[in-house]
Amino acid sequence: MSGAAFAVLTATMFVLPLSSLFWGIAGGLIGGVITLSISWKNGITPSRLALAGVSVSAFCQAAITYILLSDRVDSEALFFWLTGSNAGANWDAFWPLLFTTLPMFALLIVSYRQRSYLELDDEVARGLGIPINSYRLLFGFISVILTAASVGAFGPVGFIGLVAPHLARMLGLGLIGSAAIGASLVITADLLARTLLMPLELPIGVLTAMIGAPWFLYLILGKLWMAR
């Protein structure tokens, strides 16, 4: 998400052609490739991937801060966008986003069995002859495109990707259910953002963070409690 945001802000600073959706996807892919390259060592493990992701994200955040402090951009408008906002949503942004995400979502639906392999332990997967690293690369690539496209269109709306899948799993729902929950959370946050302080509008990311941060803490404490 940070890579996509950094690319969009860079394109804004240098007044580059093409849409923010394009630069968001490009930045997300570059950040994803760098993260995978750093974490790759005879395959990918979740711990190495997380550490590499934190490092790349920290670098992008530092670069974003530099851009915001420069005199070449409208810092106030960009700061509002960086917290996630649907204020600039229109049909010009909707159609490219739809045509980008729909094929990726369809691919995820038809690859249900392959997605289930990601839940297996590395040793179990290798014992069954499953190319687990190849599937991680494939679904990581799809995840990067979906995330970067949404960031390019509406800014980095945080915690939706954390809360929605866990709620869907708790309710016994699959991919479509997770997408529906995520969309419902965004719509609810957008409605509250537009009405809580009328006529002012809050960034959606502020409200999703207020929901997502306690949920994230709940997940961590729950795992620690189960580990006992």
For 164-212, what is each residue's pLDDT tens digit?
Answer: 888 888 888 888 888 898 888 888 888 888 888 777 777 787 888 887 7
Q: What is the average pLDDT across 62-72?
A: 79
Neighbouring C-beta atoms of residue 43, cutoff 10 Å: 15
Two tokens, residue 218: 């709940």
Give the pLDDT score at 74: 67
Q: What is the structure's pLDDT at 88?
A: 64
In whole angstroms, what is the distance from residue 124 CA to residue 220 CA? 26
**Structural contact between residues 32 and 53, judged by C-beta atoms closer than 8 angstroms:** no
With 80 as the cut, is the pLDDT of residue 52 above it? yes
How far, in Å, CA of 42 to CA of 39, rounded? 10
What is the share, in percent, of the chain residues with pLDDT greater than 70?
91
Q: Are 195 and 75 in contact (CB under 8 A)?
A: no
Q: What is the pTM of this model?
A: 0.78
pLDDT at residue 226 greater than cutoff 70: no
Domains defined for the chain, CATH in brackets: 1-156 (1.10.3470.10), 158-228 (no CATH)
Amino acid identity, residue 128? L
